């Protein structure tokens, strides 16, 4: 079976205002059966333990994972949700943050095709956050033909980093004044552990990374009794 594939990403949106909702643009070409991934990252002037993104104006979205790091009086946070398109593409949801403290948050939505058509499409989700060289997390898959997805958020930098060998950079939104958001993926043909990739950015870069695998579409098995009905 073919592994899932990245389709497209929508427009990134940003704000520096507290409690101000932002709505990312819809990914182009998204269609019935696609999985949408909402990524939100924030440089906030607080030290939260509950990652206080507030999700609004969207139903049917499920949180995947999250990570944050606190350095001094500020923090760097990343959070992700998924949604399965059924029929037409829905109105995109909004997110807001109650305490940016004059810093910034951003969000983007990516679409993936060829994913499993029922149940959760997510496997082996985890997150990490640190102050150092930007790197992702290891993702262990239990079956073949997975698409391993790595999402990065980092602090106040227009640096793009280096795409790790074998990985594809799907979306990269940088800024010299607020949080950068990057989305990479790699196809894993067999079950096993995809080691944690590194972007090679800075020895002192505040960042978070969220990783997971997307499960492939399974072709329905026909009803054997329909074959014998002709005899």
Single pTM value for the model: 0.90
Distance CA 124, CA 214 (A): 9
Q: Is the per-residue pLDDT at 81 higher than 80?
A: yes
- Which has more pLDDT, 156 or 128? 128
Q: How confident is the model at residue 151 (pLDDT cuts 50, 70, 90)?
A: very high
* Interval 18-30 mean pLDDT: 92
Paired sense of beta strands 192-194 and 139-141, if any:
antiparallel
Q: How confident is the model at residue 97 (pLDDT cuts 50, 70, 90)?
A: confident
Looking at residue 178, its pLDDT comes to: 73
* Interval 202-221 mean pLDDT: 86
pLDDT tens-digit series, residues 104-148: 888 999 999 999 999 999 999 999 888 888 899 999 999 999 999
* Short-list 162, 111, 166, 169, CA closest to 135: 162
- Which has more pLDDT, 151 or 54? 151
Go through the chain and tell me how many residues it has: 231
Q: Dihedrals φ, ψ of 226, to 5°?
A: -70, -30
Looking at residue 158, its pLDDT comes to: 64
Distance CA 20, CA 96 (A): 5
Q: Dihedrals φ, ψ of 228, to 5°?
A: -75, -15
* Interval 80-86 mean pLDDT: 95
Looking at residue 51, its pLDDT comes to: 55
- Which has more pLDDT, 197 or 70? 197
Which tokens go with 149?
Answer: 């997805």
Looking at residue 108, its pLDDT comes to: 94
Most confident of 51-60, 189-198, 201-210: 189-198
Q: How confident is the model at residue 196 (pLDDT cuts 50, 70, 90)?
A: very high
Q: Is the per-residue pLDDT at 163 higher than 80?
A: yes
pLDDT tens-digit series, residues 29-56: 999 999 999 999 887 765 555 556 777 7
């Amino acid at each position: 079976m073919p592994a899932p594939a990245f389709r497209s990403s929508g427009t990134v949106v940003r704000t520096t205002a507290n409690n101000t909702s932002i709505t990312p643009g819809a990914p182009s070409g998204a269609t019935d059966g696609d999985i949408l991934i909402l990524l939100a990252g924030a440089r906030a002037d607080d030290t939260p333990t509950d990652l206080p993104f507030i999700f609004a104006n969207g139903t049917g979205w499920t949180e995947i994972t999250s990570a944050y790091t606190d350095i001094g009086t500020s923090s760097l946070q990343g959070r992700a949700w998924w949604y399965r398109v059924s029929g037409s593409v829905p109105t995109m949801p909004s997110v807001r943050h109650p305490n940016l403290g004059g810093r910034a948050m951003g969000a983007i939505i990516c679409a993936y095709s060829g994913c499993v058509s029922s149940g959760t499409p997510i496997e082996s989700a985890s997150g990490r956050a640190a102050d150092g060289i930007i790197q992702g997390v290891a993702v262990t898959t239990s079956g073949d033909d997975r698409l391993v997805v790595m999402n990065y958020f980092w602090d106040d930098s227009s640096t793009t980093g280096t795409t790790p060998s074998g990985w594809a950079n799907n979306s990269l939104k940088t800024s010299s004044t607020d949080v950068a958001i990057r989305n990479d993926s790699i196809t894993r043909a067999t079950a096993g552990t995809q080691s944690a990739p590194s972007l090679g950015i800075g020895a002192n870069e505040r960042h978070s990374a969220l990783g997971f695998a997307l499960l492939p579409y399974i072709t329905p098995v026909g009803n054997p009794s329909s074959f014998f009905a002709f005899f």
